[in-house]
């Protein structure tokens, strides 16, 4: 056994089943080791940001880490955007980065870089293999680190010569048990606030799981309080069986208007809400110090705390379900409302929805409140290009579930290579591209700033119409059967047809 085989064997023994890879010369021993050591599924991605984004989507749906195999420092740098998003999602990921041979590194070869420095920007754990005999222990340490604090990113740097070196013994790779806790004192404070004032529970993390929402729903029903979710949550179990939840608005004035309705806001499984950007005249936090009551952060035992809160309140097993019915059938031209309503009406039971539609998708959250039960994933760190990649990983984790990637055109262009991996692996992903030929969020922000007539350069910086992106052709070129529609009737037919089929599909919805 050589060092590369030792690492793969250690990964498999630690429960790693999938490797999202964009390898180079320094990782070839690891690529070969996947053939000689069974148990690890290697999946090629055309760009590192697809690999890291797919690892994020996989972790969110599988509830465990995948391994990313990346090529030296520049390869890691290419994947940092979606590692940033994954960090905000608390997704456990284990990166393995190939490095130059230890005896060659000091010559400053062209691909040399400070990998540890780059990795430290998005990783909670960074280690470098220093001995072939220690490789299995190093790998187990990385996996252990990925499991900590509700999910973290761990990076292991692996020199090429250590991958090739013979390893005579296999080290023990037992995983350490992790246990998060909660504060009984905070449970008491939250119960007191719920009994004494008009209160909302702001939910994130495990608070948006099926169990977490049920417990939070019982709390809300027993105390006549309200449930709010993070603006950009990692995963939320939604649909007809879920309790009614309002979404914290993106813009700070709207968010403040919502939180201002409550005397207390209890933070559950997330952090105190912060404005996406600093806007003149607006505070950074969306709740005041006096309002805020912390129950649990993202790295604490949220389900245990919610159960303790339910017990403290002696809350009956009742919830207030989402109100409303299935959206009406839509007609006419495609806009944000008709597109969102059509998708919400047609999406199948038990679907996984990866939502990176941004401004076009704003109506979708409310429209889908009474859709069949589904898992809702969102852009988490604000760095666009997460959708196609995370949808890919979600489909790898859950091959028996239909994945729908509701995607804006500008964001999709950042990781369009994910379509190729979907085709190569025959993943059951329907991508619906909302093509409004712009970075529309920039137009909205300019209008909110009072720039009703931006100049030609400013307009060009927000426009994607010169030339326009022809997504149906792009999808076909990546091996994904694709269709272009420009009205609701054709969109409806296309969705119904593609939902009846297995494998990757793309619908380009041209917006009016």
Q: How many beta carbons lie within 10 A of that of residue 405, not counting itself?
A: 31
Residues 381 and 235 in one domain: no
Strand arrangement, sheet containing 18-22: 41-44, 18-22, 66-71, 93-99, 153-159, 125-128
Q: What is the dihedral of CA 262, 267, 270, 276, to 10 degrees?
A: 30
CA atoms within 13 A on the CB side of 202: 28
Q: Where are the beta strands (DSSP E) in 107-187?
A: 125-128, 153-159
Residue 329 is classified by DSSP as: P
Residues 11 and 108 in one domain: yes
| Residues 408, 146: Cα–Cα separation, whole Å | 31
**Number of helices (H), then strands (E), in the chain:** 21, 18
Instruction: Decide if 324 is inside a domain.
Output: no
The residue out of 281, 313, 345 marking a domain boundary is: 313
Q: How many beta carbons lie within 10 A of that of residue 247, not counting itself?
A: 19
| Residues 358, 378: Cα–Cα separation, whole Å | 10
Collapsing DSSP states into helix, strand and coil, what is residue 168? coil
Whether the Cβ atoms of residue 198 and residue 261 lie closer than 8 Å to each other: yes
Instruction: Decide if 171 is inside a domain.
Output: no
Instruction: Decide if 170 is inside a domain.
Output: no
Instruction: Decide if 120 is inside a domain.
Output: yes
| Residues 422, 44: Cα–Cα separation, whole Å | 10
What CATH number is attached to the domain comprising 483? 3.40.50.970
What lies within 8 Å, CB to CB, of 91 at 6+ separation is: 55, 56, 59, 60, 65, 151, 153, 234
Residues 412 and 500 in one domain: yes
β pairing state of 153-159 and 199-203 = unpaired
Q: What angle do CA 256, 262, 266 make, to 5 degrees?
A: 95
Q: Which of 6, 55, 34 is nearest to 154 (CA)?
A: 55
Residues 498 and 358 in one domain: yes
What lies within 8 Å, CB to CB, of 140 at 6+ separation is: 10, 14, 172, 173, 174, 175
Whether the Cβ atoms of residue 234 and residue 90 lie closer than 8 Å to each other: yes
β pairing state of 292-296 and 264-268 = parallel
Q: Which of 408, 405, 410, 409 is nearest to 431 (CA)?
A: 405
Residues 157 and 232 in one domain: no
Instruction: Decide if 452 is inside a domain.
Output: yes
Instruction: Decide if 371 is inside a domain.
Output: yes
What CATH number is attached to the domain comprising 276? 3.40.50.1220
Residues 135 and 220 in one domain: no
Residues 227 and 116 in one domain: no
| Residues 409, 468: Cα–Cα separation, whole Å | 10
The domain in which residue 242 lies consists of 184-313
Residues 92 and 38 in one domain: yes
Instruction: Decide if 322 is inside a domain.
Output: no
Instruction: Decide if 327 is inside a domain.
Output: no
Residues 481 and 436 in one domain: yes
| The model's pTM | 0.96
What string of pLDDT tens digits covers the 512 residues of the chain? Answer: 999 999 999 999 999 999 999 999 999 999 999 999 999 999 999 999 999 999 999 999 999 999 999 999 999 999 999 999 999 999 999 999 999 999 999 999 999 999 999 999 999 999 999 999 899 999 999 999 999 999 999 999 999 999 999 998 665 667 776 778 999 999 999 999 999 989 999 999 999 999 999 999 999 999 999 999 999 999 999 999 999 999 999 999 999 999 999 999 999 999 999 999 998 999 999 999 999 999 999 999 999 999 999 999 999 999 988 766 778 898 889 999 999 999 999 999 999 999 999 889 999 999 999 999 999 999 999 999 999 999 999 999 999 999 999 999 999 999 999 999 999 999 999 999 999 988 888 878 877 777 778 888 888 888 888 899 999 999 999 999 999 999 999 999 999 999 999 999 999 999 98
CA atoms within 13 A on the CB side of 425: 25
Q: What angle do CA 234, 316, 273 make, to 5 degrees?
A: 30
Residues 65 and 211 in one domain: no
Q: Provide the domain count of the chain.
A: 3
Whether the Cβ atoms of residue 335 and residue 512 lie closer than 8 Å to each other: yes
Residues 343 and 306 in one domain: no
Residues 296 and 381 in one domain: no
């Amino acid at each position: 056994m050589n060092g590369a085989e030792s690492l793969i064997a250690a990964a498999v023994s630690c429960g790693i089943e999938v490797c999202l890879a964009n390898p180079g010369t320094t990782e070839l021993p690891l690529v070969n080791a996947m053939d000689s050591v069974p148990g690890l599924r290697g999946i090629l991605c055309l760009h590192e940001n697809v690999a890291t984004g797919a690892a994020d989507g996989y972790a969110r749906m599988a509830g465990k880490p995948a391994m990313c195999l990346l090529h030296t420092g520049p390869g890691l740098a290419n994947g940092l955007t979606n590692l940033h998003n994954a960090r905000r999602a608390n997704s456990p990921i284990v990166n393995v980065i190939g490095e130059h041979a230890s005896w060659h590194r000091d010559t400053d070869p062209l691909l040399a870089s400070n990998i540890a420095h780059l990795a430290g920007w998005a990783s909670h754990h960074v280690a470098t293999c220093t001995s072939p005999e220690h490789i299995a222990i190093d790998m187990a340490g990385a996996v252990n680190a990925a499991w900590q604090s509700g999910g973290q990113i761990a990076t292991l740097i692996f020199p090429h010569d250590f991958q090739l070196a013979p390893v005579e013994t296999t080290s023990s790779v037992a995983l350490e048990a992790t246990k998060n806790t909660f504060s009984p004192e905070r449970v008491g404070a939250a119960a007191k606030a719920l009994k004494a004032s008009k209160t909302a529970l702001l939910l994130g993390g495990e608070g948006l799981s099926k169990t977490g929402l049920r417990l939070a729903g019982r709390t809300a029903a027993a105390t006549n309080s309200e449930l709010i979710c993070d603006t950009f949550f990692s995963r939320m179990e939604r649909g007809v069986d879920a309790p009614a939840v309002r979404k914290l608005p993106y813009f700070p004035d709207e968010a403040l208007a919502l939180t201002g309705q409550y005397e207390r806001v209890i933070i559950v499984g997330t952090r105190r809400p912060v404005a996406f950007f600093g806007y003149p005249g607006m505070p950074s936090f969306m709740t005041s110090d006096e309002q805020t009551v912390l129950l649990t952060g993202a790295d604490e035992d949220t389900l245990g705390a919610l159960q303790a809160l339910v017990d403290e309140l002696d809350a009956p097993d009742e919830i207030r379900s989402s109100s409303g019915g299935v959206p009406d059938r839509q007609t006419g031209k495609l806009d944000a409302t008709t597109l969102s309503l059509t998708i919400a009406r047609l999406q199948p039971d038990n679907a996984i929805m990866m939502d990176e539609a941004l401004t076009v998708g704003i109506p979708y959250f409310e429209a889908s409140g009474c859709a069949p039960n589904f898992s809702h994933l969102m852009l988490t760190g604000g760095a666009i290009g997460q959708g196609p990649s995370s949808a890919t990983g979600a489909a790898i984790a859950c091959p028996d579930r239909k994945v729908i990637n509701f995607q804006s055109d500008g964001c999709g262009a950042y990781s369009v290579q994910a379509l190729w991996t979907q085709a190569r692996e025959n993943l059951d992903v329907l991508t619906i591209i909302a093509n409004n030929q712009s970075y529309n969020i920039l137009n909205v922000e300019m209008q909110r700033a009072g720039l009703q007539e931006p100049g030609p350069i400013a307009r060009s910086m927000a426009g994607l119409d010169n030339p326009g992106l022809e997504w149906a052709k792009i999808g076909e070129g990546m091996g994904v059967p694709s269709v272009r529609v420009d009205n609701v009737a054709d969109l409806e037919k296309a969705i119904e047809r593609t939902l009846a089929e297995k494998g990757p599909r793309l619908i380009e919805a041209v917006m009016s």
